[in-house]
Structure 1
């Protein structure tokens, strides 16, 4: 069992926003930036709680595995406990630094919020003047080295390149020390966020190591605990005179162990744990064969596992399939594959009962249809110098569905006012369709009311983009503003104009 913890998109976004906000400190310390740091710190704390839950699950699994096999699991569980203790000690130390900085900046108010988020003296005083910065750096570097030592020596270099816990000065630090470049002239809320980010790195590093240790429970020995013969054939249906080939293997097998494989009592050549059975089709109908796979277990006893395989020998038959599905759409180039068993594609010809059918490659055609309902693809060809009609395949003919209007990837509902203000226009999106289609928006009407607007204000655009006037109105949007977008029109691939349903946003 593996409980690997890849970074989700939320975690990556938190990391990116943290870097952007840290860089912005060099430019300005506005209320917006302070609030942004407050938001990022909250997100990091939520991420830390999620990682703690995942780590707790792994430690629980260690306890369960310990009950089943103490001798094997005991040493690995002891190492996992060391990892937990080391990481917990560093996180507690970082918490003490956060509390010290908050206290020296003026503490918290009755609601638990930092009183002076913009205080620029507390962080340098605690981290530089009181020498806590070098101590923190040393503890983080010591923890990183200790955690990497849980990997075998031949893996440490590779693992260290992507290890979550790193202690590096910013690229623009120049000759400044790590402490100065990280905490000098940094407001209290930013320093707290930076320390929360270090805790996030520690927890991610802890998760990576304990997950690796847990994976070693079953990696320490060679086991085949589930046995199932597998038969993989190149085809279950062949024509007379064609060869039938199947690969036969034992599930959960090892490429270094070759089992004994027989088919209907005849030995099959085995290489890298896989046997290949080959025969020639004769006689129309289904043919079955018996497979036996024998292998020594850990005690040296031979165990045999049996199964059956089958293949079908048939006469030539028509095969026509729509590449996207058994539907043709009006106004689109619908790819269609046409093949007849035993007949070269160059000897085939095809036609369609409505629209047009054009050959574009070896057995590949493009169908264009015009009327909703149905269409028949008729196939004929030459076999042995004689013309033959192979029949027809019926297709449904449908209109391309209407797309749905979106703004910033949202189809309506609640949206942050700050996120709404930076949008550029309205998109028409057709989700989960078989073709990648574009529906350019040609017109829409947008209206605003609520916070920021004394009266109901309405504007229109004859394109997909917000006009200059609309963008000016958008800048007045605040939490509590309601936005209505209707009379949305989009141009379909067939040239028709689609009227799309209205969408509504409640900004917060």
Structure 2
């Protein structure tokens, strides 16, 4: 811009240029300060991840004490990952120190945060990373570290980890002019010192997070092939189930655990049984008095394909017995469902056995099989009769069906991945570990609130399980760090009651 000859106008123009330059410097300073804020946040995150990783390594030490043969090879891999991650982290830290040194070192701002003295220096990063070839060396080291991490992962999971690892190192990038740029040029050429410093801190964060993913996977592999026995039941083995007066009853009693998620193959007396929720039921119309034996096998496949087999050899006695009234599911009758009951009476043909109940209704389905329906909690008494004569009675407890568990997808309240939450359609109410099949709860209403970072709090009311339309856009915009609240959740079960389930919340990660 040509300056005018008039002295007064010259002064005005010069002052304008000075003010414009000062404004530009002010904006630049704000941007550089923003890099400092981001870098300090990354440093805090790295401290947190280090603590998490240390807990994982401590878990390896504890597991090693319990089962060194099984844990040893996995712990060796974890120790190697730890050492390589430290080497990578320290090399990045050394580059940060070199940048700090060549820009005059550090200074402490009014806020107490440590920052570079010459944050805006444009020469140091280029000189160190490009001219001194530190950038290509760093790139090669990080690629080698990443390959080593993937070699520690189970081969069948390697492709998934390859995509998921935070540490991703590309060979080249396309610049704004459309031309290819090297990894070093793209990240460090003519960038302010504080920006290069922050990029190196971010790479340290990627190293820590990648280390965490692999070490946690190795820790899970310790029990990857273990069968989880998630339900327990009392088992009683008696010396005889048909005793006479004066004899001694001997019973061996233990608590037995079984898995509801892994179904074994059970064969009894040559018959393969149907297994549901980890349990199988064998029925046999017995005949002929005397001692008998149930024989067979139980085979269970472990996650790695190994077969575990156990023999069945259970003696029993056939003889005269007393009247038996038993709930096929348990010694409890539930409101809202048909409760199956088995009734037998010694010396009486099954087709002649009748039953009545107080506190409900009972219907005969087949010989010895009945269905009981109850409507009020408390107690119900079943009376067995034959040919008009009362034979026996038994009292049962009557309860409402248990409350369900609220879920989004397969997740209960707590932490959940944001990407997984966004693809769900609404709130579920699942009845877990209940003996009856096909019993379902319907979500009839709730209030949902979304607390998303950087956005206004969003909320809406639903009159079904599905997310209300007014909140759909907010659900699709969810990101890690956001929180979702469900309040005043109401569900309706097969007994017709609308239940208040209270509140749950999810922290997205």
- Normalised to the residue count of structure 1, the TM-score between the two structures is 0.46
- Normalised to the residue count of structure 2, the TM-score between the two structures is 0.46
